[in-house]
């Protein structure tokens, strides 16, 4: 038996009906779609704060979160540890990339292994005459203590530097006569390193959707509406309470909060802004 198909007129009628239904439903669906984009942007910013705090804690370093109001984008930066120029010169001259200035492995895990072996020797019979020592007369335990001390000092300078950068950022609006003198936080034999973006899957530079705008940010109670706002994230978490107000084209606002007391982030509707 021959099967009958649809005629062109029938198909056109169906298409016209579907177009009419979509036209009537679009005004109702559009706010829902816009709200979903708005909520997604707020959720992403909240998650971004969680990821940044986790990165700082795991890496044991101080990070700086930055948001550019003009570009409507945000990212995280870190300042690499200063390079010891004397150590760098020695490595370059000798071509040896596996030793430090004092002749021990640069890899901290390898140094820890040697230190544990040295402790075992000492516990079984004291420091032996054949124990590994450097030209400066340091054994592996001295080198480990020295390196830990240097690392702690560098991290402390990194934290102070991040706070100083924020102070410097806040002073940009002040007259030149009221701005503080510039100061350096590197040691005498260390080369200052420029900040670099952290990047990665979780902390890559992010641009807000076109339908969403950051209209206000608050860092430690100080509000910003333009420029580049900065927030310091230490290994212990976000330094001060930080909030962001994200508004969509309908005038609705989400406030995203990074809480230093609990280390948690979240967002909620806020109709006051």
pLDDT at 5: 67
Which structure tokens are listed for 86? 């004397």
**Comparing 104 with 216, which gets the higher pLDDT?**
216
Q: Please check the confidence at residue 52 and state whether its pLDDT lies above 70.
A: yes
- Averaged pLDDT score across all residues of the chain: 75
- Domain boundary residue, one of 168, 184, 215: 168
C-alpha span between 143 and 118 (Å, rounded): 12
Which token pair is 53?
Answer: 């705090």
Q: Note whether 125 and 148 are same-domain residues.
A: yes
CATH code for the domain in which residue 218 is found: 3.55.40.10
Q: 55 or 28, which is more confident?
A: 55
Predicted TM-score of the model (pTM): 0.59
Is 220 inside a domain boundary?
A: yes
DSSP state of 107: -
> How many whole angstroms separate alpha carbon 182 and alpha carbon 185?
10
pLDDT, tens digit (0-9, with 9 covering 90-100), for 177-204: 445 444 444 454 455 668 899 988 899 9
Domain presence at residue 23: no
Query: For residue 254, what pLDDT band results from cuts at 50, 70 and 90?
Result: very high
* Residue where a domain stops, chosen among 134, 168, 202: 168
Q: Residue 272 corresponds to which tokens in the numbers above? A: 């006051």
Tell me the pLDDT band of 135, cut-offs 50, 70 and 90.
very low
Which tokens go with 82? 């200063």
Question: Is 12 within the bounds of a domain?
Answer: no
Domain boundary, last residue among 102, 133, 168 = 168
The answer to whether 231 and 162 have CB atoms below 8 angstroms apart is: no
Q: Which domain holds residue 134?
A: 83-168
């Amino acid at each position: 038996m021959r099967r009958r198909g649809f005629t062109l007129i029938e198909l056109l009628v169906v298409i016209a009906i579907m177009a009419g239904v979509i036209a009537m439903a679009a005004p109702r669906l559009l706010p829902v779609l816009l709200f979903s984009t708005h909520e997604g942007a707020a959720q992403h910013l909240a998650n971004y704060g969680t990821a940044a705090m986790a990165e700082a804690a795991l890496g044991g370093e101080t990070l700086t979160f930055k948001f550019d109001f003009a570009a409507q984008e945000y990212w995280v930066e870190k300042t690499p540890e200063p390079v010891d120029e004397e150590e760098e010169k020695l490595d370059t001259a000798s071509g040896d990339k596996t030793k430090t200035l004092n002749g021990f492995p640069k890899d901290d895990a390898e140094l820890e292994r040697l230190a544990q072996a040295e402790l075992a020797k000492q516990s079984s019979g004291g420091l032996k005459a054949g124990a590994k020592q450097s030209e400066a007369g340091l054994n592996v335990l001295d080198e480990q203590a020295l390196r830990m001390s240097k690392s702690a000092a560098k991290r402390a300078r990194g934290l102070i530097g991040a706070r100083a950068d924020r102070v410097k950022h806040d002073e940009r609006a002040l007259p030149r006569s009221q701005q503080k003198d510039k100061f350096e936080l590197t040691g005498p034999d260390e080369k200052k390193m420029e900040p670099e973006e952290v990047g990665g899957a979780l902390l890559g530079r992010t641009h807000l959707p076109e339908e969403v705008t950051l209209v206000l940010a608050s860092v430690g109670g100080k509000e910003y509406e333009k420029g580049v706002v900065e927030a310091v994230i230490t290994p212990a978490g976000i330094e001060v309470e930080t909030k962001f107000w994200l508004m969509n084209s309908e005038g609705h606002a989400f406030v995203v909060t990074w809480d230093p007391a609990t280390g948690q982030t979240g967002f909620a509707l806020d109709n006051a802004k």
